[in-house]
Amino acid sequence: MSKPSSTASNWAEELAKFLREQPAVTAVRIDPAARKLEFATMGRVELGDLESRLAATIAAIEEKLGAQHAAPAGYSLKTQGRAVVLGRQSCETAEKLWLWREMEWPELKAEPTAEEEEWRSLAIFAAVCGAAGLAGLACKVGLSGYPWLYRLLFGIGLVAGGWDATIDTWKNLRKRQVDIHLLMLAVAAGAVCIDAWGEAVLLLFLFSAAGAMEEYSLYRTHREVGALLKTSPKRAVRLNSGGVEQEVAVEELRVGNRVRVKPGEAFAADGTVVKGRSASDESALTGEAVPVPKDPGDPVFSGTINLWGAVDFEVLRLPSESTLQKIIRLIQTAQKLKAPSERFTDRFGTGYTYLVFGGATAMFLFWWLGLGLPAFENAPGVRSAFYRAMTLMVVASPCALVLSIPSAILAAIAWGARHGVLFRGGAAIEKLAEVDAVALDKTGTLTTGELAVVGCESFPAGREPQILELAYALEMKSQHPIARAIVRHAKASAVKPIEIEEFQSLTGQGVKGRLDGATLMLGRRELLEVGPLAEWARALPPASPELSEVWVIGRDLVGRILLKDEIRAESRAVLRRLKTAGVKTIMLTGDRRHAAEAVAVELGLDEVRSGLSPEDKVRAIQGLKEAGHTVAMVGDGVNDAPCLAAADVGVAMGARGSDAALEQAEVILMHDRIENFISAQRLSRRARSVIRMNLAISLGVVVVMVIATAFGAVPLAIGVGAHEGSTVIVCLNSLRLLFGKNA
């Protein structure tokens, strides 16, 4: 089940929000597996941009559609086969009148849309506004005898600078909503009324320039996704059963197909090398420019480039479920999920706009009726009440405040996407900065996860071949690191496969099956200690501390496979840097105590807890949180998924991470680069610092300028410059995250 709304909005609530905004739509039917999308209306309606809005909503919640959620108030949630239907509550008779329309499932687009490139048009409008304003100012000074000329030029500037704001304001007014765009237009119109044409043009120029800068920040984030999409191959060379090459579209590839990739070509899907040797450029996924050697048995990833040798690989995942496509979906989801502080600014924005309008009106009446200032005419040395009210509206507008958080979050997401760190949204960036305890799984996280069989024992001795044979039979269909090691060793030893029946996974314990009516089990030592062999099992010798063991139990056969896992070369440096930063490190592992403690001592972990089941790991995470720690959990396996969900921040190893782990994680470290955790944490702390700076700048300017305006000490031009200048500074400050170094 998906993580609750702490990581992302309840998808049913998001869909209900769409229905509330679209009264013509009565229900939506979604089948994620078949990628089928339908919506229902009562009779024929004008579609307009309804389909694009629904597509955007589905794209934002696609990662969470499998989760179980209760129906929002006023709506019903039903299951129809594999599809789910969310609709307005109604009687069965009304539902029979619904007219269903099918639409295309929202597809990923390789190029930025026109909307994403809006910053270009905004920049052009801002440039025209600025040029016209400068020309008008020159005419006003040099050709004062022709007032119509400078007013014409100022008018051109006003149209260019206010064009986009006018369109947005009109759309919002039709929905009975107001925002800062209306505020800016009102101030500009008021400035013209008191013959302050230059100030009006300056306001709209800075406002449109700040808007262009905001859109540019968003565009840069989308461009990172576009760069990934361009690496996605469109064609592949598939080998048939006779080894004959056949060029096909990547969509035609199936799991188990063998694909040939020549030098300079991209791998079309995730898979495993079965023939040939080469190296791949995986910088598109990880940001790492060093080529990665590829030999038989090594994994390859969709979108990475084969550098020098011809390679045949077996497809392990469909192209649509490849690592590359998951990355793209994660980034797109992250861009739509807002941080808690960002949602706060969204909520208060409309109310604040009303407050500014009301405050300016009240102050106008106070200055005019209470202090006796001129209502509209500026006297020598005395600014009118209306002039002061316009200035107050400018300096109190929340433009910079509203942009201070989303601009930083978007820039941070973009930097992470380019350097192998994927965030599921702004909440993950904010929470990771607060982490003071990191829990880590051992196998596949602190170690490479690629175990090697170093021994096989039977009790009593002499039946080692049968032990390996049964272990191979039980693990041949699994993808767990222990299973992969046993299968590799068995194949290398020419062990013949045996078909077993009633195969079953024992979560956190092992696997079992039946052969010739007898039960077979493979797993942890505890499997022996809870049955009739308990007393005998306690006397069995433990494995060496540096080795892992997996026990095999048959009808009249007991033995174990001994394996060794290599510690990641980067783990020591990562843990040392965490300790230097004052972060507590804890290993949570299902492995036995001796093996876990040997790794913990070698790496210098603060604490180690071994022999844990998934439930034990969750309790350990909850205990750390109850002790006052903000906890990040780093893992990669199915058994890590529950504690990833329980932690304040779940972090998954991206290359070998299970789908369950990736689903629960809020941060993904691509290519299993654990050192990227340090980069992610440094980035989150920089983002938090930038957000605080942005808030201090925006709030500070508003407070100072409002007080100064209340005493009549601020001309409109200065108010415009201070307000819009703070907006530009906030955007520029956020862009530092996009171009800075966080390693």
> How far apart are the C-alpha atoms of 269 and 278, rounded to whole Å?
17
Q: Is 26 helix (H, G, I), strand (E, B) or coil?
A: strand
Residue 689's φ and ψ, nearest 5 degrees, are: -65, -45
Rounded average pLDDT per 10-residue block, the chain, 743 residues: 40 81 82 75 66 74 66 80 79 72 62 57 85 88 80 89 84 75 75 74 74 64 52 78 84 88 83 88 57 83 80 84 59 48 54 78 87 78 79 74 74 79 78 90 76 85 88 78 82 84 72 83 76 73 76 85 80 88 88 78 87 81 89 77 80 65 73 82 90 88 84 75 77 80 56
Determine the longest span between alpha carbons in the chain, in angstroms: 112
CA-based nearest residue to 733, from 703, 690, 692: 690
Instruction: Enter the tokens of residue 200.
Output: 């009006």
Domains of the chain: 11-103 (no CATH), 118-223+337-409+686-739 (no CATH), 235-265+270-316 (2.70.150.10), 421-439+574-672 (3.40.50.1000), 452-564 (3.40.1110.10)
pLDDT at 20: 81
Cβ contact 568:446 at 8 Å: yes
**Residue written as tokens 């299902």?**
590
In Å, what is the CA distance from 314 to each residue of 237, 290, 455? Answer: 12, 24, 29
Q: Which residue has the tokens 């993950």?
A: 428
Q: Phi/psi at 552 (nearest 5 deg)?
A: -120, 130
Active site amino acids: 441
Nearest CA among 412, 424, 417, 416 for reference residue 226? 417
At 339 the pLDDT is: 46
Query: In the prediction, which pLDDT does 313 show?
Result: 92
User: What are the E-state strand segments in 554-701?
Assistant: 558-564, 584-588, 607-609, 631-635, 649-653, 667-669
Please write down the HEC assignment for all residues of 289-334: CCCEEECCCCEECCCCEECCCCEEEEECCCHHHCHHHHHHHHHHHH
CA gap 399, 492 in Å, rounded: 66
315: left (phi over 0), alpha (psi -120 to 50) or beta: beta
Contact (CB, 8 A) for 680 and 416: yes
Question: How long is the chain?
Answer: 743
In the DSSP assignment, the letter for residue 515 is E
Assign 72 to helix, strand or coil: coil
Exposed/middle/buried for 71, CB within 10 Å: 0-12, 13-18, 19+?
Answer: middle
Place of tokens 């506004």: 129
First to last CA, the chain: 33
Q: How many helices (H) and strands (E) does the chain have?
A: 25, 27
The Cα 401–Cα 229 span in angstroms is 33
Kindly state the tokens that stand for 681: 């944490």
Gap between the Cα atoms of 422 and 348, Å rounded: 29
Torsion angle, alpha carbons of 621, 622, 624, 625, to 10: 120
What one-character-per-residue DSSP string does 75-122 give? EEEEEETTEEEEEE---HHHHHTEEEEEEPPPPP-SS--TTTTHHHHH
b/e map 121-146, b = 16+ CB within 10 Å: ebbebbebbbebbebbbebbeeeeee
* 611: amino acid identity, one letter: G
Structure tokens at 496: 């013949």
Query: Which pairs with CB-CB distance under 8 Å and at least 24 residues apart come from 126-129?
Result: 126/160, 126/161, 126/205, 126/208, 126/209, 126/211, 126/212, 128/156, 128/157, 128/160, 129/157, 129/158, 129/160, 129/161, 129/201, 129/204, 129/205, 129/208
Quick one: which of 605, 186, 206, 164 has its CA closest to 390? 186
One-letter amino acid of 163: W
SS3 494: coil
Determine whether 492 is exposed, middle or buried from the number of CB atoms within 10 Å of its CB (0-12, 13-18, 19+): exposed
All residues at 6 or more sequence positions from 200 whose CB lies less than 8 Å from its CB, including other chains = 154, 158, 187, 188, 189, 191, 192
| Positive or negative: CA dihedral 402, 73, 106, 38 | negative
From the list 220, 413, 227, 218, the residue with the least C-alpha distance to 333 is 413
Sign of CA dihedral 233, 235, 237, 241: positive
pLDDT at residue number 24: 78
The confidence score (pLDDT) of residue 348 equals 57
588: Cβ contacts below 8 Å, ≥ 6 apart: 439, 440, 441, 609, 612, 617, 620, 621, 633, 643
Contacts of 211 (CB under 8 A, 6+ apart): 122, 126, 164, 165
Label residue 535 exposed, middle or buried (CB < 10 Å: 0-12, 13-18, 19+): exposed
How far is residue 743's CA from residue 741's CA, in Å, rounded to a whole number?
Answer: 6
| Rg of the chain, C-alpha, whole Å | 31
Locus of tokens 């108010």 = 719
